[in-house]
């Protein structure tokens, strides 16, 4: 059967009409920033105070794109008669995002919570070498990491927070003790002077 004249035009108009009535899904980036889920894998932030230079992340990274340099330092004993300890000091921590495949293994394996996902993604470069982010840049990303979701009201306090609170209370008590001792010192001196 020969095609009805004008049927192609009618079909085309029907498609146009159907599309016109649908909700638009086009993202107007970069004029409008996308609303990304908090667990978006954008870039990796380093909280280097937590890093013990255990090298696990670098060893487990399938792309070998984490570069860590460190040296050893001897720490004097905490108490007289104690033993000296040696600890690793971080010299370099860098991630090459030109190689990274955003698998998240490094974050998963870090036993000391030193690596985190940030949803930031606007770090395209024209020079590939610039995609190797050194420790300062990785630290800057850290401040863009979203807060973890709130705990269930009936949940147990996390061990890390309980331990941190215990240490803070201990430090506060020590400070109060030192302050009290300092305040008591001039009083004793004045009394001693009076006796003399
Ligand atoms: S996300 Fe994966 S590929 Fe990227 S640095 Fe971490 S372990 Fe390596
Ligand atoms: S696994 Fe964690 S603690 Fe160990 S070197 Fe990597 S970031 Fe540092």
CATH number at residue 66: 3.30.70.3270
- Is 91 part of any domain? yes
Q: Are 75 and 85 in contact (CB under 8 A)?
A: yes
- Is 88 part of any domain? yes
Residues near ligand 2 (Cβ within 6 A) = 51-57, 68, 110, 112, 114-115
pLDDT higher than 60, residue 194: no
Number of domains, the chain: 1
The closest of 120, 109, 110 to 146, measured between CA atoms, is 120
Closest residue to atom 6 of ligand 1, CA basis: 106
Alpha-carbon dihedral 32, 98, 113, 135, rounded to 10 degrees: -100
What is d(CA 1, CA 68) in angstroms, rounded to the nearest whole number?
A: 74
Q: Is 128 helix (H, G, I), strand (E, B) or coil?
A: helix
What is d(CA 89, CA 93) in angstroms, rounded to the nearest whole number?
A: 11
Question: Which residues span the domain enclosing 60?
Answer: 33-142
What is d(CA 180, CA 3) in angstroms, rounded to the nearest whole number?
A: 101
The closest of 129, 61, 55 to 101, measured between CA atoms, is 61
Atom from ligand 2 closest to the CA of residue 56: 1
Across residues 153-172, what is the average pLDDT? 87
- Which stretches of the chain are assigned E, i.e. beta strand? 43-46, 66-75, 85-96, 115-118, 132-133
- Is 22 part of any domain? no
- Is 12 part of any domain? no
Closest residue to atom 7 of ligand 1, CA basis: 61
pTM as predicted:
0.71
Q: How far is the CA of 110 from the centre of ligand 2 (A)?
A: 5
- Is 25 part of any domain? no
The residues near 36 (Cβ < 8 Å, ≥ 6 apart) are 42, 119, 121
Residue-wise pLDDT for 100-159, tens only, equals: 999 999 999 999 999 999 999 999 999 999 999 999 999 999 999 998 888 888 888 888
Least confident stretch, 26-30, 48-52, 154-158, 186-190: 186-190
Q: Is 47 helix (H, G, I), strand (E, B) or coil?
A: coil
């Amino acid at each position: 059967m020969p095609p009805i004249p004008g049927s192609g035009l009618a079909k085309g108009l029907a498609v146009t009409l159907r599309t016109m009535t649908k909700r638009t899904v086009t993202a107007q980036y970069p004029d409008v920033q996308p609303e990304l889920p908090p667990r978006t894998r954008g870039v990796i932030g380093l909280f280097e105070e937590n890093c013990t230079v255990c090298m696990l992340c670098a060893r487990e990274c399938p792309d070998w794109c984490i570069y860590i340099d460190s040296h050893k330092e001897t720490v004097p004993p905490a108490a007289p008669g104690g033993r000296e300890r040696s600890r690793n000091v971080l010299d370099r921590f860098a991630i090459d995002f030109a190689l990274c495949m955003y698998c998240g293994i490094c974050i998963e394996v870090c036993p000391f919570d030193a690596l985190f996902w940030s949803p930031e993604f606007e770090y395209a470069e024209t020079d590939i070498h610039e995609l190797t982010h050194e420790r300062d840049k990785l630290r800057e990303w850290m401040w863009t990491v979203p807060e973890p979701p709130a705990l269930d009201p009936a949940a147990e306090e996390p061990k890390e927070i309980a331990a941190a609170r215990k240490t803070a209370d201990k430090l506060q008590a020590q400070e109060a003790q030192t302050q009290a001792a300092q305040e008591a010192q001039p009083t004793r001196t004045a009394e001693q002077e009076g006796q003399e």
